[in-house]
Amino acid sequence: MKLQKALTRYFTLLVLPSALVLGVFLRFAPPQHNPFVPLDLNHKPGLASHFKMTQLERHPAACFNALDATGVLYTPLEDSPRGEACGKYDALTLDRSLTPYSATLSMTCWQTASLYMWERHVARPAATDIFGSPIARIETYGSFSCRNIAGTGRKSEHATANAVDISGFRLEDGRLINVKTHWDNGGKEGEFLKRVHKGACRIFSVTLGPDYNAAHADHFHFDMGNARTCR
């Protein structure tokens, strides 16, 4: 009897109000905060965006649909044979995004979706806000590369086309912002780089930059692997 009373109390004081609050939140929250609404890459990143992005790995068709809704142009790649040390699965070659990249990028669909989100909602607005000039080209060291994480025996996310390295930004006014040169610069360039690094942390599973280690002194590493790091 005592237990039944306690359970009733627990239900009315805790479970019921929580369910009500959650219901109201899901009904009125913007879609990027609601984990039950399919991901739209045109929406700004929100509370549920990273969760939804990670779900795309298990739902490649939804991922390609989400990319199609952005106007990005890409060529789907055939899956690599299973069991090889390195390979591309549910991957594509990015033919045209909002901003040109300095090298051709071949990445998994969900890594591409994350990169698009970062480019559209973080990097491009940061450049116009801080410099008053759009980005003309994003400098990259590339995506797919069959190798281990530097100094370890563990496979890098690059080995499965699930990562990208960004080294700098060329603006339309001709200015070049370099991770290596400008990361610790107290001026606008440093402010811009800190902002795009911080913004990446909300989108990618792993964001690494010069503060992480010497191997990243000249670029940002973004990946959609299983770890969760912002350094």
Residues that bind Zn ion (CB under 5 A): 163, 165, 221
- Reading the block at residue 111, the tokens are 């890594």
Minimum CB–partner distance for residue 49 and Zn ion (Å): 22
Minimum CB–partner distance for residue 206 and Zn ion (Å): 9
Q: Which is nearer to Zn ion, 89 or 141 (CB)?
A: 141
Q: Which is nearer to Zn ion, 124 or 221 (CB)?
A: 221
Q: Which is nearer to Zn ion, 165 or 189 (CB)?
A: 165
Minimum CB–partner distance for residue 143 and Zn ion (Å): 9
- Reading the block at residue 103, the tokens are 């090298």
**Residue ranges in the chain assigned as alpha helix (H):** 2-10, 16-28, 49-55, 60-68, 109-118, 124-131, 179-182, 188-201
- Reading the block at residue 196, the tokens are 């795009």
Do 42 and 72 contact (CB within 8 A), yes or no?
no
Minimum CB–partner distance for residue 163 and Zn ion (Å): 5
Counting beta carbons within 10 angstroms of the beta carbon of residue 146, is it exposed (0 to 12), middle (13 to 18) or buried (19 or more)? middle
Q: Which is nearer to Zn ion, 120 or 221 (CB)?
A: 221
